[in-house]
Amino acid sequence: MRLIKHAFIIGITLFTMNTYAQQNERNNMTNQEIVTTFLNGFNDSTQIQKSLDLLADDYKFKNPMVALNSKAEFIKLAQEIGAVITGINIINISENENWVATFYEFKSSIPGLESNIASEWFKVEDGIIKESHLIYDTSEWRKFYAQMKK
C-alpha cells in the first residue's frame, strides 16, 4: 500500500512539473513565437502535439468554409487537413497587442491546389491561442470538396 502511495505521489509530481514546464515555456515566448510554433507544427508531424498544446480548450477557429468553437473540433479538422497539407511557409508576421497577423503560403498534395496564399489572424492571451480567423481563396477548394462528396 505504501508503494502505491509513493508511486501515486511521484506520478502527480511529474504531471504537475510537466504542466508547469509547458506553461512556463509558453509564458517565456512572445505572441509571434507562439503563433510561429503553432504553424510550424504543420510542417513536422512530430511537433503537431506541441502546436495543439498552444490552443485554449475553448479555441475558436473560422475560415471561409467552417466555424469551430472548441479545440476538440479543431483537432478533428486538423487531422483531415493534415492528410493533404504538406507545409506552411510564413512570409510575414506582425503583432498588435494580443493579435498576431500572419501572411503565409500553405502547400497541399492535391493537384491544382499545391500552393495557396493565406492570411490568418490569431488572438493570443496569457500565452495561449484563443481564436484565429483564416482567410484564403476557397473557389478551387470548394470544387475539390464538391467532387469528394460525389
List pLDDT tens digits, range 40-82: 999 988 898 999 999 999 999 999 999 999 999 999 998 888 8
The side-by-side arrangement of strands in the sheet containing 67-68 is 67-68, 55-62, 128-136, 115-125, 99-108, 85-96
List pLDDT tens digits, range 93-135: 999 999 999 999 999 999 999 999 999 999 999 999 999 999 9
Question: What are the structural domains, with CATH classification, of the chain?
Answer: 31-149 (3.10.450.50)
pTM given for the model: 0.79
